Amino acid sequence: MRPVRTAFAGALLGTLLLAGCGQGGTTTTASAPTTTAPASSPGAFPVTIEAGNGKVTITKKPERIVSLSATHTETLFAIGAGPQVIAVDEQSNYPPEAPKTDLSGFKPNVEAIVAQKPDLVIVSDDLDKVVAELGKVNVPVLLQPAATKLDEAYEEIAELGAATGNQAKADEVVAGMKAAIDELAAKAPKDKRLTYYHELDTTPYAATSKTFLGQIYGLFGLTNIADKAPDAAGGYPKLSAEFVAQADPDLIFLADVKCCRQSKDTLAERPGWQNLSAIKNDQVVQLDDDIASRWGPRVVDLAEAIGAAVSKAGTS
Amino acid sequence: MVTQAGPSRARPLWVACALGVLAVSMIAALLDGAADISPWQVVLQVVDWLPFTEVDSGLAPVEQGLLFELRLPRVLVAAVVGGLLAMAGAGYQGVFRNPLADPYLLGAAAGAGLAATAAIVLLPSVAGSIPVAAFLGAVGGVFLAYTLGNTAGRAGGTATLVLAGVAVTSFLTAIQTFVQQFKVEELQRIYSWILGDVGGGWDQLWLVLPYAAVSAVLLLLHGRMLDVLSVGDEEATSLGLRAARVRLMVLIAASLATAAAVAVSGLIGFVGIVVPHVVRRIAGGSYRIVLPLSLIGGAAFLVLADLVARTVIAPAELPIGVVTMFVGAPFFVAVLRMTRRAGT
C-alpha cells in the first residue's frame, strides 16, 4: 500500500505545482504616458503642458529647475536649459557639468527638494506620491514617464523645451535626432536578417521588441530572439539561458557592462554559451549601460553603436 | 523506548520508493526545457554520454553543450539544494520541536541576504564573490542568533533561540535595505538573487557537494537521537542522552546545509517546511525516516519546481522561489490549521 500512497502523493504534489504555477506569470503592463505636443508659441509664458500628471501650467520661464531623472537631465542640457537647472538627482551623471546632488529620484525626499526652492521639478516616476506632495506646496511638477516609443521620446523633449522656454532649440534637437537615426537606419544592410539579444542583466534579463529599446533595434531590420517570450513577461523577460544558447543570436548587445562588468569573455565563461556564434565571430557589443537605458538625446549614440555592429556583421 | 518499530521496519521500502519518485522527477526535468529539443533526442544523447555506448542523437554541438552544461547540472543542483533545504527544515523542526521551524528561522537567510547584497554592491567584479559571501553570511547569521540566544536566556532554551533568530533577521534585513538605498541600480540583481536560481552550472554543483555530504551524514546520524529528544529533555537525559549537545550538533549540521544551499541558489522559500510535513504525514513522525525521506523528497520537489519555473512561460523563466512559495504559502496555512486543530 505504502508505495502506492507515496507515488500518489508525488503525483498530487506535481499536479498542484503545475496547476498553481500556470497562473503565476501575470504581470501588469506599464501604462503608456499620455502626452500631447504643447500648444503655445515658442518661448511664450504661461504655457500649459499635457504631462503624465495632467495639464501643468507654467506661468513664467523657470529659473530654478530640479531634475530627478537622469534622462531628463540630459535633455535639459541638450536643449539649452542647462543654466536654469540648479540641482539634479544622484543618478544624473551626464553631462558632467550637471549640478549633481544627493537628492534621490528613487526615494524622493520632498523636504529636500523644496529646500532647493525650485520653480519647476521634473520627474520620470511618481514615486512615493512626490507629485501630489509637491503640489501641496505649489511647486509645479512635470511627470514625463519612460518613453515606450521613439515618438514619445521626441514629444517629451519638445515639451521640456516649451516648459523651460527653449522650444526652438528643443525642436532643433528633435529634428537632428530624427535625421541622424533615419540616416543610420537607412545605411544598415537589412538583407541578412540578423538576430540579436539585448542583455540588461546577467540573470539574464532581456528586452523585447515591444520596449523602447526593441523599437530602435527594429529600425535596423534586426530580429529579437526575446520576442518568443510570452507577453506576461512584460517586455523585459528573464530568459532561459538554455533558450539563448539554442537561439544562438548573430549579435549580442550588452547593457550590463558598467554594472556587472560583462564582456565577450565573461559570456564565454557562462555554462553552455562558449560556442555561441556571436562570441566566436566577435559580434558581442559592449554598450554604455546609461545610454542604453535612457530615452533622451543620446539615443542617437545608441543607434550609432547598433548601426556599426550591424554593418560589421553584415560585411563579415 | 517509544513505539518506533513500524517506521524502522518499513524504512528501506520507503527510501526505495522515494528514490523512484526522485528518479522520475529528474528524468522529466532532463527531457523538457526552454530549448526546443525532442525528448527522444535527449534520451539518445544521455545514452551516448553513458560509458561504453555510442549513439547518434542528431543534436548539434551547441545543443549537446546546452544539455550537458546547462540542463543536466541545473537538474542536479536543484536536487542537491532541495534535499539540503528540506533536510535542514526537518532537523530544525526536530530541535525546536516546532512544526513551523524552517531553514531560515535562525537568521540564515537574513545573514546570507545581507552578505550577498554587500558582495553585489562592493565587489561587483570579483567572480564567485556572491556564493562565498552568502555562505559566510548564513553561517554568521545563525552564529549571531545562537550567541544572542544563549546570552539572553538559559543555555539550550529553544524559545529564546527562536526569538533571537527573529531579532537577528529583522536587524540584518534592515541593514540590507539600508545598503540597497545607496545602490539603487543594483536592486534588480539583488532581487533576482533573493528569489533564487539553480542555473549555475557544474561549478555550483562542485561547490555545494562537499558541504552537502558532510551535513547530510551528520543529520542522518542524529535521527535516532532526535526521536529520543522528542519525548522531552528530562526523559531523554534519563535515557543517557546529552540533550544540549545533540541539539547543538543538529543545529550546526542543519545550518551548514542551509548555508551551502543558499550559497549556490539564493533564497528559496518553503521547501524546508513543505517537504518534511508531507513526509511526516505519509511515513510517520520518526526522524529516522523523516530525515532521509526529506532529503530525497526535497530533491524531487525542487527538481519539479525548477522544471515548472523554466518551462511554464518558456523561453522566459519564473524565479524558482516564486514557484516554491506559490505552493508553499497555502500549504503553510494548511499546516497551521491542522496543528491548531490537533491542539499542539
Q: Which domains does chain A have, with CATH numbers?
A: 47-173 (3.40.50.1980), 188-315 (3.40.50.1980)
Residue B341's pLDDT band (boundaries 50, 70, 90)? Answer: low
- Interface residue B344 vs chain A (CB under 8 A): no
CB count within 10 Å of CB B224 equals 18
Cβ–Cβ gap A240/B34 under 8 Å: yes
Residue A56: what are its φ and ψ, rounded to 5°?
Answer: -120, 125
Residue A229's pLDDT is what? 86
Q: Report the C-alpha gap between A248 and A174 in whole angstroms.
A: 36
Answer whether residue B338 shows pLDDT above 90. Answer: no
Cell, residue A190: 537589412
Higher local confidence (pLDDT), B338 or B162:
B162
Q: Average of pLDDT values for B210-233?
A: 91
| Structure letter (DSSP) for residue B184 | G
Rounded to the nearest 10 degrees, how much is the dihedral formed by the CA atoms of B305, B311, B315, B316? -40
Integer angstrom CA distances of residue A307 from A221, A222, A284, A316:
10, 10, 13, 14
Residue A173: what are its φ and ψ, rounded to 5°?
Answer: -60, -45
> Residue A211's Cα: distance from chain center in Å?
8
Minimum distance, in Å, between the CA of residue B70 and any CA atom of chain A:
6
Q: Average of pLDDT values for B251-275?
A: 92
Residue B342's pLDDT band (boundaries 50, 70, 90)? Answer: low
3-class DSSP state of A81: coil
B 237-266 residues with CB < 8 A to A: none
Report the mean per-residue pLDDT for chain B: 87
**Spans of all domains in chain B:** 12-28+36-51+69-337
> Is the Cβ–Cβ distance between B296 and B15 less than 8 Å?
yes
Topology at the third CATH level for domain B12-28+36-51+69-337: ABC transporter involved in vitamin B12 uptake, BtuC (1.10.3470)
Cβ–Cβ gap A106/B184 under 8 Å: yes
Each residue of A258-280: pLDDT tens digit?
878 899 999 998 988 988 999 99
Q: For A234, which residue in chain B has the nearest alpha carbon? A: B316
Residue B155's pLDDT is what? 53
Cβ–Cβ gap A243/B199 under 8 Å: no
The fraction of chain B above a pLDDT of 90, given in percent, is 47
Higher local confidence (pLDDT), B119 or A8:
B119
Answer whether residue B291 shows pLDDT above 80. Answer: yes
Which segments of chain A have a pLDDT < 70? 1-43, 232-233, 316
Kindly list the strands in the beta sheet with A120-123, ordered across the sheet, starting from the edge strand earlier in the chain. A85-88, A65-67, A120-123, A141-143
Chain A residue numbers with beta carbons less than 8 Å from the beta carbon of B124 are: 259-261
- Interface residue B84 vs chain A (CB under 8 A): no
Q: Which of A3, A238, A271 sits opposite B316 (nearest CB)?
A: A238
Q: Average of pLDDT values for B322-338?
A: 79
Higher local confidence (pLDDT), B2 or B45:
B45
User: What ipTM describes this predicted complex?
Assistant: 0.78
Residue B65's pLDDT is what? 86
Residue B140's pLDDT band (boundaries 50, 70, 90)? Answer: very high
CA dihedral sign, ordered B298, B300, B303, B307: negative
pTM score, whole prediction: 0.82
Each residue of B40-62: pLDDT tens digit?
999 999 898 888 888 888 888 88
